[in-house]
Structure 1
Amino acid sequence: MKNKTGYTRSILIAAGIIIIVIIGIMIMHNSGKSSQSSSTVQTIKVGSGNDGQPFAYLDKDGKPAGMDIALLEAIDKKLPQYKFKLTLSDFPTLITNLKSGKTTMAMYQIEQNAERKQDFKFGKVGYTVWDTLLATKKSTGVLNSFSDAKGKKLYVTNATNQATLTDAYLKSNAKAYTVVRGTYTMEQVAQGFASTQFDVYPAPKYSIDLLNRQFKTNLVYGKSVNHSNAYPMFNKDADPKLVDAVNKVMAELKKDGTLKKLSNEWLKGDYVPKD
């Protein structure tokens, strides 16, 4: 027969075993929940720029920076079910990657046009105004249409909407003007004007403001030759749930002033579409 002390010891041992078992079950349960939770987070490969200040580029430490990068981070933060993984490149490669399926989404000041609408899906909320204006020196005169640019040299960046617009006019008006093509930085554009490499730069107001502010180019422009905004763009096979989720967050960021804040911070002005 056990004495009182032995009996008490047995109860304590049994209680300890029960506690250990309960803790083990809880750990296994929480581990299962954690594993299940992590498995529901979907990685989305997103394309953006690597040398397009101040939109998307690598800073002095080699880290992604710029307005589009900051906006992607803001969107990602509001979508815990997704994890954005960046793929940075030049603009033509970004388009190729998205079309081939190497990326699912892209954000690099991308405008809509008929050709892109055939190959990609677009978000519904624009975040930067990209109305095309024809920038010139005062000595060249103000241009209000592509027909006004007859006999002049135009510079366009490869694969941009401005290149598409410039080429579309040439299809119906062969030899109306000559075109210089490339992937120039803003400094190189300024140098192109200074060296008379070209006379006209189809560009949005932001780019013209930047050239005038940073490089004292004193460029002028007339009426818009095309109305456009920058939108998130998706692979044609992108999950509609992803597209809807990004659209919802973009609308929230526009309404709460985040888009305007990012525009002022990175572009030094409010270039957020009013529509």
Structure 2
Amino acid sequence: MQNKASRSKGLWIGIIVVVIAVIAVVLLHNNGKSSGSSSKVQTIKVGSGNDAQPFAYLDKSGKPVGMDIALIQAIDKKLPQYKFKLTLSDFPTLITNLKSGKTTMAMEQIEQNTERKQDFKFGSVGYTVWDTLLATKKSTGVLNSFADAKGKKLYVTNSTNQATLTDAYLKKNANAYSVVRGTYTMEQIAQGINSNQFNVYPAPKYSIDLLNRQFKTNLVYGKAVNHSNAYPMFNKKADPKLVKAVNKAMEELKKDGTIKKLSNKWLKGDYVPKD
């Protein structure tokens, strides 16, 4: 049978054990809370297309698909500190949304030009070659410059770099050629060329290859009138940490061959810049 001193000693040991256990629970709770707050995920609204095959569009079930959509998802996967939320629209609205701050980042084969550099930030890693070529039917002849297009009719998609280039030449050379403007699908562009609605289509090699492959247009082209690549584009006020993180993710995806795989899958060829 324990004496009074032994019982008292045991009681104190029990109290000490309970206190230590309580302190441990409190510390674990606080550490967990601190960890959760430091790893808070930031939602980033990313603009892309809803009807721009094969770059960014909705499939038959309404699911966003395409090369740019897949690349956005690949970047998002590499950046656990961010959660990308898609905002899909036509191209002119994509530009407007980014400029107004409704979105923070945009990807839909966007090229750099002087005007855009004034209004937006660009990523540093290009992912699709967009050198502009002047596509024509063989009967029209091969064009190597906008000067060669004198007296002809060009088609350009609204708000694209090709529209900017076409208008820049016209500004210095009024009435050099006429221009049809719109947001035509590739099928409509093929129809427009075949029906002589217009006879020159300023476009990258990919688009010309697509028209020739899918619609048998047999277009030809000469030298590039402008050298360019597609880049991620950001709102002017975008956090530099976000831009830096996206650049790093893009570098890794280019180095490990992911972007090339996406190009081959969606564009049916390797259109990734070599630099």
TM-score when scaled to structure 2? 0.90
Structural mapping, 1:114-129, within 5 Å: 114-129=114-129
Mapped contact 2:44–2:83 kept (Cα < 8 A): yes
What residue in structure 1 maps to residue 138 of structure 2? 138
Residues 152-171 of structure 1: pairs in structure 2 closer than 5 A: 152-171=152-171
Cα deviation, 1:45-81, whole Å, max 9, x if unaligned, reads 1111110010001111111110001101111111111
In structure 1, how many angstroms separate the alpha carbons of the residues matched to 2:179 and 2:132? 16
Is 1:32 aligned to residue 33 of structure 2? yes
Partner of 1:216: 216
1:249 CA drift (Å): 1.1
Matching residue of 2:150 = 150
Residue 196 (str. 1) matches residue 196 (str. 2)? yes
Shift in Å at residue 28 of structure 1?
3.7
Question: SS of 2:108's equivalent?
Answer: strand
C-alpha distance in 2 between matches for 1:233 and 1:36 = 29
Segments of 4+ in structure 1 off by > 3 A? 13-31
Structure 1 equivalent of residue 59 of structure 2: 59
Counterpart of 1:5 in structure 2 is none
Cα distance between partner residues in 2 of 1:18 and 1:264: 64
The one-letter code sitting in structure 2 at the alignment partner of 1:102 is K
Supply the distance in 2 between the matched residues of 1:268 and 1:43 (Cα, whole angstroms). 32
Cα offset, 1:225, TM superposition? 0.3
Distance 1:129 1:151 in 2: 29
**Take 2:128 and 2:29, find their aligned partners in 1: how far apart are those partners?**
49
| Structure 1: gaps (5+ residues) | 2-9
Tell me the TM-score normalised to structure 1 length: 0.90
The superposition leaves residues 61-108 of structure 1 with CA deviations (integer Å, 9 ceiling, x where unpaired) of: 111110001101111111111111110111100100111111111111
Mapped pair 1:84 → 2:91 = no
The reply to whether residue 47 of structure 1 matches residue 47 of structure 2 is: yes
1:38 Cα offset (Å): 5.4
- 1:256-275 CA distances to partner (integer Å, 9 max, x unpaired)? 11111110011000000012
**SS of match in other structure, 1:197:** coil
What is the CA-CA distance between 1:18 and the residue it aligns to? 8.2
Distance in 1, Cα, partners of 2:48 & 2:101: 14
Q: Which runs of 5+ in 2 are unaligned?
A: 3-10
1:89-135: per-residue Cα shift (whole Å, max 9, x none)? 11100100111111111111000000000001111110000000000
- CA distance in structure 2 between the partners assigned to 1:187 and 1:33 by the alignment: 55
Q: 1:147-180, CA deviations, whole angstroms, 9 ceiling, x for partnerless residues?
A: 1111111000000000000000000111111000
Cα distance in structure 1, aligned partners of 2:25 and 2:154:
72
SS of structure 2 residue aligned to 1:265: helix
Amino acid at match of 1:36: S
Distance in 2 separating the partners of 1:88 and 1:58: 9
- Could you tell me how far 1:26 is from its partner in structure 2? 7.7
